[in-house]
Amino acid sequence: MAVSNVNVGLGIGMSGETTAPDQIFRAQQQKDLAQTKAAQKKADEEEAELEQIKKKILLDKPKVHRLESKKVTDEMAKTLLKISEAKRTNPNDYLNIAYNEFGSYFDFLNQATSKSAMLTDLEDKLQKKSPNVYVSPSLQKARDLMSQSNTTEDWMEKLEKNGISSNNYFDYDKTTGNFDFQLVPKFNPISETKGYINQHANELLSYDYDPNTKETKAQYGTVRTLDEAREIFQRKVKENGGSTVGVTMPYTGQQMAAAYFSRPEALIQYADEYGLSGASEQEIVNHYLDNIYEPLAGKKDRASTKGSFNINIQNNMGGEKGSRMFGPDKIGSIKIGNSTVTPLRRITLGADPIKFKANPTTNWIDGKTFKAGQPKNVKTQDMYMQELYYMPVLIENGKVTRIVQESEVSKLIKENKRVDFKPYVVVGEQADLTKITDFNFDKNYFVPLESIESNIKNTFSEDKSGKQEFENWNKAKQTMRQVIQSRLKELGSAK
């Protein structure tokens, strides 16, 4: 009875076959077991996936700049904590939460990595900066403050506290921590201004001889303003008999400023470097004239001598062999035939005699007889010239009548005759003679510059060097007019 009751209770008949309820029960058991296994598998897979996310965060160590390192470490710890707590607080959706946190972390990491690259780039470029690259004072200060900061945010705080504002070369946003900078080719106002000044250092500004003190004073170089230059130019024109031929206006500091600031970037750099941001262009120019031009231009009194006119203002064009040299220098008395003449100055026309073609005229002075007359037996196609002398001459009825000897000068002036100094070129057939005392006066002549100057001009090349030489040639003649005026005042022959 007991066994029978048990069998009935289990739903099993005496025949040993399962009944319908038994089959339903077993099927439900199998279904429940399958669901349990599936749920466990899913849970295991999710747990493994969660661990992979953690490992990805922990093992994928980012390479970030020192200022970003602490932030990244803190953000990593926060993200791992959020992922770990997600399983406890949201057991049914923790994996989605983990992926969202994972994505947010790597977005943050990408920004930190990008910012780190900029920080490293800034440090490296300023540490290895080239002298030809402009580094703004604000950018250099920003670089210095980096070394005193722990984080990017700390750096930005220090930038603000130290009055570093965004500008053309360094820009930053404290709210986002983003920044940008640029290094550009450097403009150097000092070296460029030195170049301007040196180029015009030999320009004569004034020349004066005081017969009472026997002192000669000369000024060379540049002037600050265009008004000063115009005043000097007008005076030189007046001293040149009203003619502008050979008279040039002095170069000015204002022209230097215009040349230097003609490039917008040079103006921006100058304002940035000297703390003139917001200043007007005229204010910047005035600052340049006061602080760059004036100190470099220096004292313009370049020569002051007593007792003579021994002032050498020679220009050597390029310093190469055969280069043109135009510069008045003093010489002593010379013997020409039976005559003694004291030229006021000599100007060399070149390192070597200049070959030219010319037709002798009656105003050529014979080097042997010291008299005017058309030369005979002269090869006019192969003449040479090299020396130019400012010879004392007698002026009658507005024309040169002859060269006068040294002993005649005072006598003629006492007789109220007009004595002047005019340029004469020594020409002849001897290409190897370089000094007036070496010339063979049987074959050499003094020729008025005006009758042969076109031949001299033809020897200047058409290139840049030739044009510069021609400019210096004209300046040398202009200088001589100044010297002559002072000498005539001393002699009392100025008319």
Q: Are 440 and 454 in contact (CB under 8 A)?
A: no
Q: Are 453 and 385 in contact (CB under 8 A)?
A: no
The angle at the Cα of 275, spanning 274 to 279, to the nearest 5 degrees, equals 105
Rounded Cα gap, residues 198 and 494, in angstroms: 34
Residue type, 51: E
Rounded Cα gap, residues 200 and 467, in angstroms: 15
Hey, is 120 helix, strand or coil?
A: helix
428-477: pLDDT as tens digits: 765 544 455 455 555 677 788 887 777 777 777 777 777 777 777 887 78
275 burial (CB, 10 Å; 0-12 / 13-18 / 19+) is exposed
Nearest C-alpha neighbor of 287 from the set 299, 300, 298, 271:
271
What is 311-339 written as a DSSP string?
Answer: ----EESTT-TT--EE--B----EEETTE
Phi, psi of 484 (to 5 degrees): -60, -45
Residue type, 445: Y
356-400: pLDDT as tens digits: 766 666 677 776 666 766 665 555 556 777 678 888 888 888 888
269-314: pLDDT as tens digits: 999 999 898 899 999 999 999 999 999 987 665 554 444 333 333 3
Q: Are 356 and 454 in contact (CB under 8 A)?
A: no
Ranges of residues in the chain with a pLDDT under 50 are 1-14, 304-323, 432-434, 437
Q: Are 225 and 253 in contact (CB under 8 A)?
A: yes
Residue type, 277: S
Can you give the residue ranges of every domain in the chain?
A: 2-112, 129-185, 196-305, 311-491
Taking the CA atoms of 307, 308, 309 and 314 in sequence, report the sign of the dihedral they define: negative
